[in-house]
Amino acid sequence: MMKRTPNHNHNHNRNRNVVNGKAAQSSSTTSFSSSSSAAAGDEPLDWEMRPGGMLVQKRTDKSESPAPILRLRVAFGAVRFEIPISSQATFGELKRALTAETGLEAAEQKVIYRGRERENGEYLEGCGVKNRSKVVLVEDPASIERRYTETKRNAKIQTAHRAISAVSMELDKLADQVSVMEESISNGMKVPEIQITTLIEMLMMQAIKLDTIAAEGAASTQKILQGKRVQKCVEMLDVLKVRNAGVEVVKPVIVTTKWETFDHWPSLIDL
C-alpha cells in the first residue's frame, strides 16, 4: 500500500503565490495612488525653516483659508493703542502698519517683544505672538538725532532767509534813491556831494549785514544776488560822483525893471 506523502512543496508554492499576490496587489495600489496623485496634478510639498527653528510646510499663495487676524496692543511712550495684523506677518510688516499710526518710518522704529528687539524678517507666530499680545514701540535714537539735526538746520535756513529778505527791502529803497539821483544829474542838475557819499555809506552798511548772515543752499544764492546788487549800486554812485562834479552850476539871472518917475505929468484937466 502506497503512502501519500504530503505535498509540502505544493503548499509552500501556494502560500508563496498568495503572499506574492498580496504584495503585487499592494504594489499595484501604491502605484495607482502615485499615478492618481500625479494625474490629479498635486505638487510636491515644500518645507521651510521658521525663525523659531520649526520646520513647517512652506507658505503658498493658494491657502485654503486666510490666516487669522491678531489684535496687538502697542505701547508707544505714553500712548496706547491696538492694531490688527495677520498672524503670518513679519515684524517688518508690523512696522509698516505702525507708520500710519505713529508717523514714524519703518527705519525709525524699534519693536520690542518679550524684552528683546525683533528683526524685520522674524515672523510674529514664530516668536510666539498671539492675539492681545503686547509689543513696545520706541523711536530709534539715531533717528531722533537726525530729526534734531534736520530741525536745527531748517531753523537756521529760515533765519537766514528772513535776514536776507530784510536787507533786500532796504536795498530796494536805496536803489530807488540811486535812480532818482541818476536822473537828476542826467538832466544837468547838480546834486550835493554829501548826498552821494551818504548813499554809498548806507549801501555799505547793508553789505556788512549780508556778510554776517550764515547762509547755505538757496539762502546762500540769495545772499550772493543781494551782494551783487549792493556792488552795482555803489559802482553807479561812483560814476555819478564824477559826472556830478562836471555839472556847472548856472547862476540864476535876476531881471530887475527900473521904473522912471515923472514929476510933472500933464494934467488931464490942463489938456
Residue 112's contacts (CB-CB under 8 Å, 6 or more residues apart) are: 118, 135, 136, 137, 138
- DSSP for 44-64 reads PP-EEE-TTS-EEEPP-S--S
Beta bridge partners of 235: none
Consecutive H or E run containing 169: helix 141-186
Q: What are phi and psi of 100, to 5 degrees?
A: -65, -30
Cα-based angle 52, 54, 57 (whole degrees, multiple of 5): 130
Q: Strands, E, within 50-197: which ranges?
A: 55-57, 69-76, 79-86, 109-113, 116-117, 134-139
Closest C-alpha to 95, from 117, 67, 68, 79: 117
Which run of H or of E encompasses 174?
helix 141-186
217 touches 161 (CB < 8 A): no
User: Tens of pLDDT along 232-271?
Assistant: 999 999 999 999 988 775 555 454 545 455 455 455 445 4
Per-residue pLDDT of the chain (271 residues), as tens digits, is 444 444 544 444 444 444 444 444 444 444 434 434 344 344 454 666 655 555 554 555 544 578 899 999 999 999 999 999 999 999 999 999 999 889 899 999 999 999 999 999 999 999 999 999 999 999 988 888 888 888 888 899 999 999 999 999 999 999 999 999 999 999 989 989 999 999 999 999 999 999 999 988 889 999 999 999 999 999 999 999 999 988 775 555 454 545 455 455 455 445 4
Rounded to whole angstroms, the Cα distance separating 40 from 61 reads: 19
Residues 234/198, Cβ–Cβ less than 8 Å: no
CA-to-CA distance for 221 and 242, rounded, in angstroms?
33
